[in-house]
Structure 1
Amino acid sequence: MTDIKQVVVIGAGYAGMLAALGTAKRTRERVRVTLVNPGETFTERLRMHQIATGQQLAEHRIADLVAGTGIRFVPGRVTGIDTAGHTVAVSTAADGPQVLRYDTLVYAIGSTTDTGTVPGAAEHAFTLNAPRSAQDMAEHLARPDTRHFLVCGAGLTGIEAAAEIAESHPNVRVTLLSRGEPAAMMGAGARAYLIATLSRLGVTVRAGTGVTRVLAHGVELEGGEFIAADGCLWTTGVHVAPLAAEAGITTDERGRIRTDAMLRSVSHPEIYAIGDAAAITQAYGVLHGTCQSSIPAAAHAAENISRQLRGEQLRPFRFGYLHQPVSLGRKDAVIQFTNGDDTPRRWYLTGRAAVFYKETVSSSPIKTYGLSKRLAVSSRILATTGGRRNRPAG
């Protein structure tokens, strides 16, 4: 039997939280699971656009979510990984620097929107990276002098944000800027419905040109055009912290840990990588950042850690996409059903039926976490539900 005494999970986002709960449930007294996260509350990244428009969401403390599981929660930021010594350095506000030893490490630090590639984005644009930045944006939108607001990036995050702003603040003119066509990954019918709904909400779509600079009162576009605005949300690009690369772990060009079929690092098999910071390859390519794939991957990692502890053969991770759910405000949505490789099928849902589907099938994972405290939920079951494309899942 392989001796796995200490399992450390870094990152308590969608993937890390489930990996910690699933490992604790499957291994019980045989291991000690430690969960490390910078904040003490669980962040629902998929609902950050709701916070940014002034909506109040339930707050979930991580300590409460893991209560009764035996998981040790350490609120702190990981500052380094010593792969030779099998330790993680953590900076905590309450207890100062700590060093945690691991036999198995689960790397689930997630990602953030990349504001470093376009000048001025970090200084002048809002992001949906954290509740505080979303709350700052909500306060800005509520000001009477906010009349025109830009959303840069027409991935599904940008689309949802633009629709939410337009619905929540009908007096604010919203412009969605994108180099490519919005919802290009969807089929023609679903895409046409989405574009028509944005138009009905009053969102102006400017596609075909990129932003070259963000300024305090607007943005510059390729070609030199300036668009004046009272605020800007940046949703394009993905940034992964260099923690793994700095530790000598094999990563791809984006800094994501390269994994084998079992979700282990190809260079350090005692490290499992899941979520946005993992480069997980399937037959059709590398998984993109989505809760839909990260939650099943987290459950599969927990299953393989348990198998390893029992001396059993590990199983490869296999995943196929199911859908692309997109909210268009609180009263409308579109669901594009997909093939396993995320290409669109003919079928899609719209309107109230799509809202019901999204809230039922791909809503908050809190209920799943509660179920995982009582049952060892299979990754195969979780693969039939999940989130959306182009979202950091952590």
Structure 2
Amino acid sequence: MQHRIVVLGAGYTGAVAAGRLAKRLHREDVTLTLVNPEPDFVERVRLHQLAAGQDLRPRPFDEMFAGTGVELRLAEVTAVDVERRTVAVTGADGPTELAYDTLVYALGSGWNDGGVPGTAVHAHELSSRPGARRLRDRLAALPAGRPVVVVGGGLTGVEAATEIAEARPDLAVSLATHGALGDWLSAKGRAHLRKVTDRLGIEIHEHAAVTAVAADGVTIADGRTVPADVTVWTTGFAVHPIARGTTLELAEGGRIVVDGTMRSVSHPDVYAVGDAALAVGPQGKPLRMSCASGVPMAWQAADAIAARLTGTKVPRVSIRYFQQCISLGRKEGLIQFVTADDRSVDRALTGRPAALYKELICKGAAWSVANPTGGMPSRRRRVVHRNTPTPAHAHAPAEATA
């Protein structure tokens, strides 16, 4: 019998995990099914560019996975039964079930309206391609001089505000942030961010927690209102809700609790990666939801699955941070260097060199999907554990790191 591996979600983490498993295991020994509702890869880190009117390069999965043995199943995941080891999906041919021996859960996250009144009705989101396209159409229809407010001063909010302001200098763009602008950055980083937002004419509302969203603007906690024909909400992400309907051990917020190999602590035949998983990084801090965390998590999960199936030592992938890469439109950027546990240090790269650096990072992230071994030899091994995985303690002899 072939060992059945099912990967849910083909974002950065799911696609990388599927491709890396295909490079690690012999095709005769396993079936690899990648479930995703869309036939092409979405570069989520570029969705603010799409919203601002830019066209993104198409990346069809049938080209990316040609000849690898990865089977793409175009379907929506509707439920996961971790006791029966089945996944309910709905595709063009209707609802059906997929059975698995090993599951990689990579359904990621979507936007989080935070329960703020009016947000779900009146605000736009940037966490999905349909959301970015809706925002793109709305912005394109705005006449000159109309106000746009971006709510949220994190990476997504800063990138969205600067991208829109650069693409549409005729609009009145503002940014509302709960704290001070760039308060997590170094002094150099904050100064550069302020310089760019000033040059682009972006009005900054600091210490401005938004308490309500309406069709014509937002309300701040102190009673002020910020007018807006378009409100873009970027205050955070919420994990996909499917896991809440399972018996998997979850953390507060709905993320799946995993060990250092991205394996569920409650169900050893389930691995979770990316925004869907709560994994611990350097200094015992939870890894943040990001591509920077998700890709090495996918490497770790794929390598651990392959090692356990082939009876070899489980390697450990180093998951740490080096920088936060922020695009500030197409001509400006900010690379904030950080400690291993993601705290800003004094060093930062700014200006045009930083924009080019960020572009290389984005291209590298997309390249990693099509080249999941990172340029290293594939080293396929034969599967020796073909049956359904036994409890975690049964694998103890193979748990030593390589």
State if a TM-score over 0.5 links the two structures.
yes
Q: 1:149, 1:174 within 8 Å by CA — same for their partners in 2?
A: yes
Q: Residues 266 and 323 from structure 1, CA distance in 2 versus in 1: closer, same or farther, beyond 3 angstroms? A: same
* Residue number in structure 2 paired with 1:261: 260
Q: CA deviation at 1:209?
A: 1.9
* Residue equivalent to 1:293: 293
CA distance in 1, matches of 2:64, 2:133: 23
When structure 1 is superposed on structure 2, of 153-162 and 65-74 the one drifting more is 65-74
Q: Which residue of 2 aligns with 1:102?
A: 100
CA distance in 2, matches of 1:375, 1:364: 12
Structure 2 gaps of 5+ residues are 379-402
Structure 1 range deviating more: 139-148 or 247-256: 139-148
Deviation at 1:141, TM superposition (A): 1.5
Give distance in 1, aligned partners of 2:196 and 2:26: 49
Match in the other structure for 2:388: none
Distance 1:237 1:372, change over 3 A: closer
| Cα distance, 1:241 vs structure 2 | 2.2
Q: Is the aligned partner of 1:218 residue 2:222?
A: no
1:364–1:137 CA distance, 2 compared to 1 (3 A): farther
Residue 312 of structure 2 corresponds to 312
Q: Deviations over 1:220-263 (max 9, x none)?
A: 11132222211110101221122112111001111000001111
The answer on 1:325 being equivalent to 2:309 is no
> 1:187-202, aligned counterparts within 5 Å?
187-202=186-201
What residue number does 1:391 align with?
none
Aligned-pair distance for 1:300? 1.4
Partner of 1:251: 250
Match for 1:363: what amino acid? K
Tell me the amino acid that sits aligned with residue 141 of structure 1: L
Larger radius of gyration: 2
Partner of 2:140: 142
Describe the SS at the equivalent of 1:48. Answer: helix
Give the drift of 1:139. 1.9
Residue by residue over 1:282-319, the C-alpha shift from the partner in whole angstroms, topping out at 9 and shown as x without a partner, is 24210001111111111111111110111123244541
Other structure's SS at 2:372 match? helix
| Distance in 2 between residues matched to 1:51 and 1:117, nearest whole Å | 26
Cα displacement (A) at 1:347: 1.4
1:4·1:309 contact (CA, 8 Å) conserved in 2? no
Deviations along 1:355-394, whole A, 9 cap, x unmatched? 121122343533223333895579xxxxxxxxxxxxxxxx
Between stretches 6-15 and 74-83, larger displacement belongs to 74-83
Decide whether the 8 Å contact of 2:44 with 2:127 is kept in 1.
yes
State how many pairs are aligned.
375
Partner Cα distance (1:312, 1:373) in 2: 18
Aligned mate of 1:124, from 122, 125, 140: 122
CA contact (8 A) 2:11 2:106 kept: yes
Q: Could you say if the C-alpha distance between residues 130 and 377 of structure 1 is closer, same or farther in structure 2, counting changes exceeding 3 Å?
A: farther
Q: Against the structure 1 CA distance between its residues 276 and 28, is the aligned structure 2 distance closer, same or farther, given a 3 Å change threshold?
A: same
Q: Distance in 2 between matches of 1:85 and 1:313?
A: 28
- The SS at the match of 2:175 is strand
* Amino acid across the alignment from 1:243: I
Show CA shifts across 1:58-106 (max 9, x none).
11122222121111111111111111111111111x1111211111100
Distance 1:144 1:190 in 2: 32
1:78/1:90 contact within 8 Å kept: yes
Partner residue in 1 for 2:170: 171
Q: Retained in 1: the 8 A contact 2:299–2:317?
A: no
Identical-residue share of aligned pairs (%): 41
Q: Which moved more, 1:212-221 or 1:235-244?
A: 235-244
The residue correspondences of 1:369-380 to structure 2 (distance < 5 A) are: 369-372=369-372
Q: Distance in 2 between matches of 1:122 and 1:80?
A: 24
Tell me, what secondary structure is at the counterpart of 1:109? coil
Q: Secondary structure at the match of 1:77?
A: strand
State how far apart, in whole Å, the 2-side matches of 1:374 and 1:347 are: 27
Q: CA deviation at 1:280?
A: 0.3
CA distance in 2, matches of 1:152, 1:195: 17
Deviation of residue 37 (structure 1)?
Answer: 0.9
Partner of 1:358: 358
Q: Alpha carbons of 1:75 and 1:377: their partners in 2 closer, same or farther (altered >3 Å)?
A: farther
CA contact (8 A) 1:152 1:233 kept: yes
Amino acid of the structure 2 residue aligned with 1:131: R
What CA RMSD, in Å, does the superposition of the two structures yield over aligned residues? 1.7
State whether residues 35 and 72 of structure 2, in contact with CA within 8 Å, keep that contact through their aligned partners in structure 1: yes
> What is the Cα deviation at residue 145 of structure 1?
3.0
Q: Does 1:162 align with 2:161?
A: yes
SS in 1 for 2:34: strand
User: Residue 374 and residue 261 in structure 1: after superposition, are their counterparts in 2 closer, same or farther (change >3 A)?
Assistant: closer
Q: Is the 8 A contact 2:12 2:369 kept in 1?
A: no
5+ residue gaps, structure 1: 379-394
**Distance in structure 1 (CA, Å) of the matches to 2:199 and 2:352:** 16
User: For 1:375 and 1:25, how far apart are their aligned partners in 2?
Assistant: 11
Shift of 1:18: 0.2
- Matched residue SS, 1:41: coil
How has the CA–CA distance of structure 1 residues 74 and 164 changed in structure 2, closer, same or farther, with 3 Å as cutoff?
same
Q: Distance in 2 between matches of 1:282 and 1:32?
A: 31
